[in-house]
Amino acid sequence: MAIWSIETPIEDKFRKKLCAGDSISLSGVIYTARDAAHKSLVEALKSGQSLPFDIKGQTIYYMGPTPARPGQVIGSCGPTTSGRMDAFTPALLAAGLGAMIGKGERSAEVKEAIKKQRAVYFVTYGGAGALLAKTVRKAEMVAYPELGAEAIMRLEVEDFPVIVANDMHGGDLFAQQIPKYRRK
Amino acid sequence: MINLDVKEVTQAVARLCQKSNFELGEDVLEALKKARERESSPIGKEALDRLLENALLAKAESLPLCQDCGVAVVFLDIGQDVHFSGGDLYAAVTEGVREGYKEGYLRKSMVTHPFSGRLNTGDNTPPVIHTEIVPGDKLKIGFMPKGGGAENMSRLVMLKPGAGEQGIIDAVTSAVKEAGGNPCPPLIIGLGIGGTAEKAMITAKRALLRPAGWPGSDPETAELERKVLEAVNKLGIGPLGMGGAVTALAVHAESRPCHFASLPLAINLQCHSARHAEVVL
């Protein structure tokens, strides 16, 4: 298990070094998108429209924040369940998406697509939304403002803590860790 | 007969929305600290440390513990000698939710229709309100912001009576295993056993209002809670599903009489951010 500090968007030469279980501190730009935004993004791809941001090599964070109080950059901002995005994820990976941040396990199809497209899936701390808010330096609206908390936002983060869950070599945090603690 | 102005209900609900989203109960904090002592996985320990740190920060800065400020689930235990004046009781509760979520900068997660349109209602209404009539002249309001991730992993199983205690243990273990990290373990597992399908579900939800780790009301149910907890904590799912010894903090079960052909089992999972607050008016 390695501990790294990495800039986003993550270059392929760094992405390929990431292994399930590594603790990573991310800094740079990430985009938020959850259920409704994923549906809109994939519909745009299917109808040949351009996406509201250039997705190549970028990182999507499955998150919908609480509203910022006056003077705050963002409200609480922890991850949502990634599995709900599974149906849309292979299409986004094929369009160039490089990394995803969420919580919980992914489907077999998504894990395959991660290998094929040389991407990475990170998990972060579910239910630690107040703590994670402290790593966000800037937040701006990118698309679908009508979706409220589900809109796509561009975040600039500093030392955002994640753990590699699925790497491009087939490594799987859950498959590695859970059996270690299983008891008869 | 006691008269209660519904404006008081609105104010109380608005306060509960905020308190429950900013402050984790001492009982839950204690349970998380004990889990941290018991946890053997390094990743699990780190996760629990961050969750405890998050709780301190949320309370100190009035920040929501979690970005998912939930469906507003409201429990009204109404004394039969209470008379409400000044308007519609349910409208007053709804107004309290509207005010509480706005003033507290809480996330509004409710959509208008489950499968068509799904437009955000903009103020986290309507709440889900459960009413019970109880003896006395007080109104007890319980408030639970219930997150979508954990609620999605709920389950109703109509077991055969012959399944018995082991059938219950197996069904819960299988639900928790399949849920994995999605409901944000370590969990509090609410179980409603017996009654009818709908009574079992509400019983499971209400069991989550107990202080973390308080045993069920009869000795057989309390013993079952211990067995389920032991079985679930053998799964290895651990904090946030990243592997570990602590998958659940507690099991809260309630048993009720049921039809001789039935053994309803409702499973309502509560994430580690087990938020609820109560007030008596």
Domains assigned to chain A: 22-181 (3.20.130.10)
**pLDDT, tens digit, 9 for 90 and up, residues B213-234:** 999 999 999 999 999 999 999 9
Q: Contact B69/A147, CB-based, under 8 Å?
A: no
- Indicate whether this model's pTM tops 0.80: yes
**Residue ranges of B 225-244 with Cβ closer than 8 A to chain A:** 234-238, 240-244
Distance CA A88, CA A35 (A): 9
Other CB atoms within a 10 A radius of the CB of residue B157 amount to 19
pLDDT at A9 over 90: yes
Token readout for A77 is 């901002």
Q: Collect all residues of chain B within an 8 Å Cβ-Cβ radius of residue A163.
A: 43, 242
Question: Residue A2: its pLDDT value, please?
Answer: 65
Residue B267 CA, chain-centre distance (Å), reads 11
Q: Is B245 an 8 Å CB contact of chain A?
A: yes
Token readout for B255 is 């048993």
Question: Residue B145: its pLDDT value, please?
Answer: 98
Q: Which of A75, A81, A127 sits opposite B273 (nearest CB)?
A: A127
pLDDT at A1 over 60: no
Cα separations in angstroms, B258 against A74, B93, B164: 49, 32, 13
Question: Residue B190: its pLDDT value, please?
Answer: 98
Question: Residue A4: its pLDDT value, please?
Answer: 83
Q: Collect all residues of chain B within an 8 Å Cβ-Cβ radius of residue A104.
A: 180-182, 241
Domain boundaries defined on chain B: 2-20+65-146, 149-274
Distance CA B238, CA B225 (A): 19
pLDDT at A123 over 60: yes
**pLDDT, tens digit, 9 for 90 and up, residues A128-176:** 999 999 999 999 999 999 888 999 999 999 999 999 999 999 999 999 9
Side-chain-side CA neighbours of B171 within 13 Å: the count stands at 23
Q: Which of B51, B120, B243 sits opposite A148 (nearest CB)?
A: B120
Question: Residue B7: its pLDDT value, please?
Answer: 98
Question: Residue B226: its pLDDT value, please?
Answer: 98
Task: Find residue A121's DSSP bridge partners.
Answer: A100, A166
Measure in Å the smallest separation between the Cα of B49 and chain A Cα atoms.
10
Q: What does the DSSP assignment read for chain B?
A: -EEEEHHHHHHHHHHHHHHHHH---HHHHHHHHHHHHH---HHHHHHHHHHHHHHHHHHHHT--SSS---EEEEEEEEETTEEEESS-HHHHHHHHHHHHHHHTT-----BS-SSS---B-SS-PSPEEEEEEESSS-EEEEEEEE-HHHHTT-EEEEE-GGGHHHHHHHHHHHHHHHHTTTT-SSEEEEEEEEE-HHHHHHHHHHHTTSPTTPPPSSHHHHHHHHHHHHHHTTS---GGGSS-S-SEEEEEEEEEEE-TT-EEEEEEEE-SS---EEEE-
Question: Residue A3: its pLDDT value, please?
Answer: 72
- Among the listed residues B186, B206, B212, B184, the one whose alpha carbon sits nearest the alpha carbon of residue B25: B212
Q: Which residues of chain B have pLDDT under 50?
A: none
**pLDDT, tens digit, 9 for 90 and up, residues A56-107:** 999 999 999 999 999 999 999 999 999 999 999 999 999 999 999 999 999 9
> pLDDT tier at A184 (50, 70, 90 boundaries)?
confident
* Contact partners, residue B48, CB within 8 Å, separation at least 6: B32, B35, B36, B39, B186, B239, B246
Q: Is A3 an 8 Å CB contact of chain B?
A: no
Token readout for B175 is 């639900």
Q: Any idea which residues of A carry the catalytic annotation?
A: 38
For residue A132, give the 3-state DSSP assignment.
Answer: helix
Q: Collect all residues of chain A within an 8 Å Cβ-Cβ radius of residue B152.
A: 81
Token readout for A5 is 């500090």
* Contact partners, residue B91, CB within 8 Å, separation at least 6: B6
- Among the listed residues B99, B201, B175, B188, the one whose alpha carbon sits nearest the alpha carbon of residue B147: B188
Measure in Å the smallest separation between the Cα of B198 and chain A Cα atoms.
26
Taking CA–CA distances from A76, the nearest residue in chain B reads B67
